[in-house]
Amino acid sequence: MALYMKAAEILEKVEQKKGAVKTLVYDSKFQNIKQLFALVCETQKYSSVLQEIIESTKLLKETKLRIHLAKVLVYDLLIGHGVKCGGAWKTMMLKHRSRLQAALARIKVKRKVSRNQDLLPSSFQQTQDDVIPRYVRVNTLKTTLEDVIDYLKREGFSYQGTASRLEDLDCLSGKTFLRDLHLQDLLVFSAKTDFHDHFLYKAGHIILQDKASCLPAFLLNPQVGSHVIDACAAPGNKTSHLAAIMKNKGKLFAFDLDAKRLSTMSTLLLRAGVTCHQLANQDFLKVDPQSSEYKEVESILLDPSCSGSGMVCLRDEVSEQQDEGRLQALATFQLRCLNHALQFPQVQRVVYSTCSIHAQENEEVVSACLQQNPGFRLVHLLPNWPERGHEPLSQCLRASTAKTRTHGFFVAMLERRPPQTDEENLPVITTLPSVGEEKQEIHQSGASDEEQENTETANEQPTNPSSKKKRRRNRKKLKKQES
């Protein structure tokens, strides 16, 4: 009964826009998070069909159930694995089962379909491109890739080596698995592989983390012994990944405003063997960049609150995500966080990421930040990655089920420009013009052609007026010499 009550409660809160599914489920502290998450997501996907069945059978009137509780019970009875609870609710649902099944059958006949999944709106109908494999990150703080592979092979799994192309992931089935083609400590299994009750997971030797979510720490790649900030850290998978890359040496400052999530994160980090961290229940925007405590911070990972529109199981929240007012509020908050991250005096690199598909939260935030912070530039990430940021920010990465077999994701890396003297900032004339030539080629000293192309759109700098005077003086000297 507790499962259905909690699922109904979360569905109601989502409808009232009191939070996203993932956050509400995670914060519920329910004993079986995976089971609750699946029930809520699946009930939402079939929400309109369930509503039609409930209304046509007058179920609410006859049972006095609330609509959200009725939906989760009807879902499990007709589409899921059967009502799991006992007592009065199960007796009630079995009493109405025949009428409910008949109502579902009538809807299928009316829509000329034979399968339950064919009743879903097109945005929810799963194709091969929507199937996301099970990604398992090896926690190198506790074990090695080789040891995990050997352990799994002894359990009957079949290791197929390193993937060479995306399509290799589509061929995974049963107990076959691969090593990821981009991230060396990431293993890939078929989508239905479940490790939640596995010894390696419970012992913290493996982390169940989508590949896209592994990208921020992998790309930031902080040095061993360095000082790093994880700005919006909970639930902690990225934090543990950073600690593994740092080999538990140095300092890892992790902030989150949600005390409950931070408490759960502390347990997760303990299980993962993380010891270099310092957790703080604090708003990152209120952290003082000038504090001596952070004077050596050179790397920051920023994964702020977002719409969550990239999460495949949350596509049902499209109406909420498309609310322009909400998106604008999120983007404003995200830009504030990114600007704040760049204020730390020694920071050299900041990775910004979201699990959103909206440009308002991604490219537009990064572009606005670069315009306000000309001392930073974009880093061109993973040149062979199949999905890029929207032009002109192609240096950034995007991820999707179709192109990368992951949840929807966005990653950008901002890097502090190297210091330049006033003389180095002056344009350099690479070819002297002949008489009558309209233009001369001018390149910014210290930047390659590729760097210019990558940054000039987002960071246009005004021409140095002193350099114009210098060029005019040069022309006058040339004319005198010619005469």
How confident is the model over 28-57, as pLDDT tens digits?
778 788 788 889 988 988 888 999 999 999
**Where along the chain do its domains lie?**
2-119, 128-208, 211-416, 429-482
Position 446 pLDDT exceeds 70: no
Q: pLDDT confidence of 449, banded at 50, 70, 90?
A: very low
* pLDDT tens, position by position, 201-241: 999 999 999 999 999 999 999 999 999 999 999 889 999 99
Position 435 pLDDT exceeds 60: no
- Name the fold adopted by 211-416: Rossmann fold (3.40.50)
Binding residues: 232-238, 256, 283, 303
> Who has greater pLDDT, 226 or 121?
226
**Looking at residues 238-266, what average pLDDT do you find?**
94
Binding residues for S-adenosyl-L-methionine: 232-238, 256, 283, 303
Is residue 355 among the annotated active site residues?
Answer: yes
**Looking at residues 330-352, what average pLDDT do you find?**
97
The predicted structure's pLDDT at residue 315: 52
Q: What is d(CA 60, CA 428) in angstroms, rounded to the nearest whole number?
A: 77
Strand partners, 378: 414
Q: Which of 306, 355, 369, 396 is catalytic?
A: 355
Position 130 pLDDT exceeds 80: no
Q: pLDDT confidence of 105, banded at 50, 70, 90?
A: very high
Position 408 pLDDT exceeds 50: yes
* Residues 224 and 246 sit within 8 Å (Cβ to Cβ): yes
Average pLDDT taken over every residue of the chain: 83
Looking at domain 128-208, its CATH class is alpha beta
Closest C-alpha among 80, 75, 83 to residue 54: 75
Tokens of 480: 């005198």
* Residues 296 and 227 sit within 8 Å (Cβ to Cβ): yes
pTM higher than 0.85 for the full model? Answer: no
Calculate the alpha carbon distances from 215 to 158, 168, 239, 280, 355 in Å: 26, 20, 12, 24, 11
**Looking at residues 5-33, what average pLDDT do you find?**
81
Position 467 pLDDT exceeds 70: no
**Looking at residues 248-255, what average pLDDT do you find?**
98
Q: Which residue has the tokens 């920010």?
A: 393
